[in-house]
Structure 1
């Protein structure tokens, strides 16, 4: 069966410091309630690009300690500071992470040669496999088939976290790289990604919606497209409600409704207000109670 990964959130205290207890509580929920296959740690959903190096290290350590080998873990170590990315790659490898990931370097319109150097440098000194994190809508970086092929020349680069609405490119990648790992990154597009034979999915909404997502995968693999379409529709209704109520703070508020202290988001993300809290309660009641 194709694997389902939650993109793990980071719990923060109201003052913006990391709430390690809340991080551990979300790891436990994903293992004990969601029965998730793995966690993608330190990505966009984890608000990682607003964290300093010590905060990232504390989160990576708390997650691997709490998971204790029960599930797959992928550590996203990429960013704009290559020295720090290399340091994190070594740190998580020493902790016991078997797989790392790195977002394409962004903002400065790097050339492909610079991007290739970045990936090769991150894995050069560690005995770890790497998944490219491709998310053009946020980075502005779109990689071509030929460029992915060049990155895959490094045997440590094993796959793509494909968070991209270009499904023509996805199909071309799947055909060109049948032995590489491709994980879909858009929760709302999981079904068409499954149809193009991805190896699984990673997403923020799976922190709460993993059961339905797993049912959808099972229905698709059983050939029951009608059921799979209905489940994707139901998931997309839920995703629409989350987006209209402010995605990340709302997921954390629903966690709280379910007895998990997921804390706050880090500024400049929103703090809960009465309207948002009421909306989160309504979403929780509608989908999870």
Structure 2
């Protein structure tokens, strides 16, 4: 399980319910047009932490139905409610997801031993490949190399979604755990992560610039750094514009320019203003290729 994987966004209806038609269109666009290696379902980009358990299960089911075996699937099932996380993990496993992932328990300042116990219980309950989702900026939890080692030693843990910018730590982890997979979570640093030994990247912007990310990752594997640098520059021009408007909202609006029913945001996320929509529409001109 390597390469470029889209952190899939979730289309909602105006009342906050899942937009199934839109979700299937988003899945198809990622597989057929962006040609990514896989989909990371139910993460931050998918607004899953605003969804109830039944909706999260529906999300997992619909994506699997639409994807079939056309791409690898990772189901993000993390929750502060461990029983809910266990049920989501068991459902993703039943549906045939290739792996599970779980965000580090957040809000409360959990000790490392508490976090380790969380993952131990979750992996034992699901008995399915698990990718630790480490996002210090969102969770406030930063692991040392030694702590990562303890998590990676848990049964069924196969790797980490490393949403951090400490490339030195990543290089050390890769050297120490060559049998594990490490995914970059920083879309604007795919080049640096790939050069530091990352096995792939998982990101929200790959919904619309997955082709470029794929080409960049391949260029690094072929030691064509000038090409990779140029692709990263092109990607970052798009990423900067997305960030100026609101990444998730802007991606959904770009999708709409392509005829993909990307739906609404989940409350309390706001929708774009008229001026922001105009800014988002300009982003389409800076995306090198979409077909």
Pairwise same-fold verdict (TM > 0.5):
yes
- For 1:237-256, list aligned pairs within 5 A: 237-256=237-256
Distance 1:274 1:41 in 2: 30
CA-CA distance at 1:251 after TM superposition: 0.2
Q: Find the counterpart in structure 2 of residue 16 from structure 1.
A: 16
Deviation string, structure 1 residues 159-184 (Cα, Å, up to 9, x no partner): 00000011121111111111111010
1:260 has 2:263 as partner:
no
1:118 has 2:118 as partner:
yes
Q: Find the counterpart in structure 2 of residue 95 from structure 1.
A: 95
SS state of the match for residue 125, structure 1? helix
Distance 2:125 2:105 in 1: 19
Distance 2:170 2:99 in 1: 22
- For 1:204-223, list aligned pairs within 5 A: 204-223=204-223
Q: Find the counterpart in structure 1 of residue 225 from structure 2.
A: 225
Distance 1:237 1:98 in 2: 33
- For 1:1-289, list aligned pairs within 5 A: 3-287=3-287
Distance 2:127 2:82 in 1: 18
CA-CA distance at 1:277 after TM superposition: 1.3
Given that 2:28 and 2:66 are in contact with CA atoms closer than 8 Å, whether structure 1 keeps it comes out as: yes
Segments of structure 1 that go 5 or more residues without pairing to the other structure are none
SS state of the match for residue 159, structure 2? strand
Segments of structure 2 that go 5 or more residues without pairing to the other structure are none
Distance 1:54 1:137 in 2: 28
Given that 1:2 and 1:217 are in contact with CA atoms closer than 8 Å, whether structure 2 keeps it comes out as: no
RMSD over aligned Cα atoms: 1.3
Change (3 A) 1:268 1:192: same
Distance 1:95 1:105 in 2: 24
Distance 2:191 2:43 in 1: 22
**Normalising by structure 2, what TM-score?**
0.96
Deviation string, structure 1 residues 100-149 (Cα, Å, up to 9, x no partner): 00000011111111111110111113231000000001100111111111
Distance 1:80 1:184 in 2: 24
Distance 1:219 1:198 in 2: 14
CA-CA distance at 1:152 after TM superposition: 1.9
Given that 1:42 and 1:77 are in contact with CA atoms closer than 8 Å, whether structure 2 keeps it comes out as: yes
SS state of the match for residue 24, structure 2? helix
Give aligned pairs, total.
289
Structure 1 range deviating more: 142-151 or 37-46: 142-151
